[in-house]
A and B are shown apart, each in its own frame.
Chain A
Amino acid sequence: MLEEGLILSVKNLNVDFNGHKILDNLSLDLKRDSTLAIIGPNGAGKTVFIKTLLGLINYSGNITWQKDVRIGYVPQKLSVSRELPLTVLEFLILKEKDTKKINDILLKVGFKQKAEHIHHDIRVLNTKLGSLSGGEVQRILMAYALLGNPNVLLLDEPTAGVDIKGEETFYELFKNLKKDSDLTIIFISHDEEIVTKYADNIIKLIHEH
């Protein structure tokens, strides 16, 4: 049982790949509705940590989520082939049948009702996922995560490939989402300015030699 007010408790978490220790005895308690940033150099295990929290990687130790948890996950990068004939709508519909909800979420993540650029509007729905720019894919992934009406977002460098203006929009969006509802965010970032501005807790993972 998890203490009230907490959304996540991690105790003595260990992950190793082929005898190589990636996460060494990590413990933390995370309050509901807080924002946790994970920072650290490449290869320190940030992505592994997020994936372990999702249950994608074998670990020892304890990971306990609050019972009512609904997790939305934005992976680091999606390598979608241009050859994949999957439209944005067909992708989002894998999670949510209601197209009105899909439209609302697309507006939230910054796609406009009217065309400004070629993809930059709701018509993005009929564009192939593989034809989008890196930043657009990230926003679609964000929309996908939000479609499950999550109360926890796990974001693995959500703004990789997004320009600076877009990055600010993203984090402003998180701020607004938090205002509207109970939302815990765990995100990986390399941007110190963003981290200090938006996170209320920071974990720094380091290499041990």
Chain B
Amino acid sequence: MLLDSTTGNIVLKLARLAAASVLLCIPLNTLAEEYDPNRDDQLLACDRVYDRGNIDQAIGCYTPLKSSDSLSIAAEATWALGDTNKANELFRLAVQAQPRNPHLRARWGRLFLSTHQPSQAAPLFQEALQLDPNLLHAKTGLAAALLSQPGAEARKLLAEISIEHPDDVETLLMLARLELETRNLDQADQLLDRALTSAESQSISPLDIYALKASADMLRDVEDSEWTKKALQISPAYGDVFFVASHYHLINYRYREAVEVLRKAVEVQETHWSAHSQLGINLLRLNDIAGAKKHLEIAYRGDPYDTATVNTLKLLDTLDEFKDLDTTAVFRLPGDSDDSTVPVVMRLHRDEAKYLSPYVEELTLKAVKTFSERYDFALAEPLIVELFPNHDDFAVRTVSTPGVGLLGVTFGYLLAMDSPSGRAPGEFHWGSTLWHELAHVFTIEKSDHRMPRWFTEGVSVYEEWTTGPLRGRHIPVDVLQAISENKLLPVKDLDSGFVRPTYPNQVTVSYMQAGLICEMISEFWGHNKLTEMLVEFDKRKDTTEAVRTVLGISTTELDRNLKQYIELNFGKVISEFDNWRELLSSMHTAVQSDQWATVVALANQANEIYPEYVGNGTTYLALHEAYESNGNVDRAVEVLETWFDYGGYQPDMLHQLAHRLRDQGRTDRATEVLESINWVSPNNIDLHERLGKDYLNRGDNQAAIREFQSLLGLNPHDKSDVYLNLAYAYKNLNDKKRAKRNVLQALELAPFFREAQDLLVELTGDSS
């Protein structure tokens, strides 16, 4: 990119703001220049001009340095002026010329950090540290790169650095960010105060510290932070003072507030590309598609390397392939005598809207009715439900990057999730995911986005278990293992298990722990206490205060209660965990070698310890196989039924169970099993055809209509038959007009269809 007088300050700021956050969940990397103790004096002089907000003068200062004889100075100046490609090339040449210079490698790593490539940056810092294990600038750079990855490595490294260099400003800032993320505001303040003192003594610009101070104020609901004013006094175009703060709104689900803060960021600094990008992404979360597009396009023009911007712009293009289907949810709050309504928009891909919408609608309307009553909250805005058949589109919608393992996310009144076709059949229970996300809408909105992460996740998990379409607790083996290894966090620190996991499955463990806490509160204190806690969170109370006010105990006591609750519910499997797992493992070995008697014996022993387990490697499917192999069909069906009753949902096994039940003449039970498949893997023509006919036969005409309409959406081979069945269902409901329309649609496709002709004659009363 060439620099000219019209674009100069734009590219300059691109470079100077290059440390902007890459992802919502990642803390900001650091502004490199200020914390480089070996920075060349000529560059430092230009930095100071920029820090005072004299942009044009700063361009004039950096420009001649591009032609410096020193490759490293030329690279730095080029970078500062925004040409990161050229800067990269110059760093490469500089490192080739001085391969033993660790500082150069550290600076090159910083360039990668600034261009949203922490995984490229980390190896350069590591190389620098091989050359000089004590190079602080490389250590802090590595810590910044590691902060973008899950795990405790970054925190560990920062702890080490802070012992060796207790006054290092950059380290103090990163530590403060971590504390802010988990709302440890006092600890953050202490770190920032130390950073201020240190920065002053080293003549380092305090702007970044002010930005974090302002963030802490924002988290305390201080409207006009003195730190914002101080920052803008030094540099009126310092958009980071708002941009940095927006991150803390975002990780607390406060998208509306984040958008307002981001608007201020681009107002004071219209070339803050990362702020434009985040503004666009978050406007999209608020369903302002046009606004999102505008800011994302601005961001792209300024910084085409930001993958979040590029991915989200691509996603916007794919939204054209979606259809908005409108419906209305009816609910009644406790104590109200009348129903209220709220509009619901189902945004579904055009290829699956027709077959999926009946189920999305049914579950959404049921959830609104259920949660309005259970949480005494009336939705105040239209609810938007988006389902993405392409998982990467959903991932971009969620965190602006493909390849994440999430299933659903709620931004307030808008929720997005994988559609059932977004994953292999049976890989997830989409009905439960939708139920989970819909519960979030209520907890997030009732608390005005103020609840802690653990609470909203806990309520959603608890609702999945108790009121969702797949009843029963579904606790994975590795979570049981974590419980048996005492890895649960104290409730007051539970948010860190979601935001900054320190071991691989800690997020899942935290979900389950949160779910168990909410279930326990409901069971021991009553469900209404969960609602009361939301009210406390809305009053800006934290976990400790809310627990004390509503439950009358400390969080430490709550932790003790949880331990007892877990003992009560999972005591046997926790105490015999190793034995139970060994039994499962031996059972599967026996399955491999067809030792069916052994399989049965081991499975039964395992089930005595933990009969509810229907997850991966469950005993029930092995038992089923064993009984089938022995020709004991009745026992095989029996164990499959037990598995189903405990919440097993593998679609092929459910189809098999339904088939067997039908063979036994237990049609109603078979229908119940088939119905459950709709919430796992509804993309199946035979399923809807069978269910539709079953419902029609037993007079459940509405359910039959849902099934046949869904079936039409899957484009079956013989549509005329489906229309005829729809006509029968409507006729049974005395809806003659719809019955006639459907029978005519049958005849339109199959004019010689005698059964349809007969029904038409009957419906029109024409017997001529």
A and B held together in a complex = no
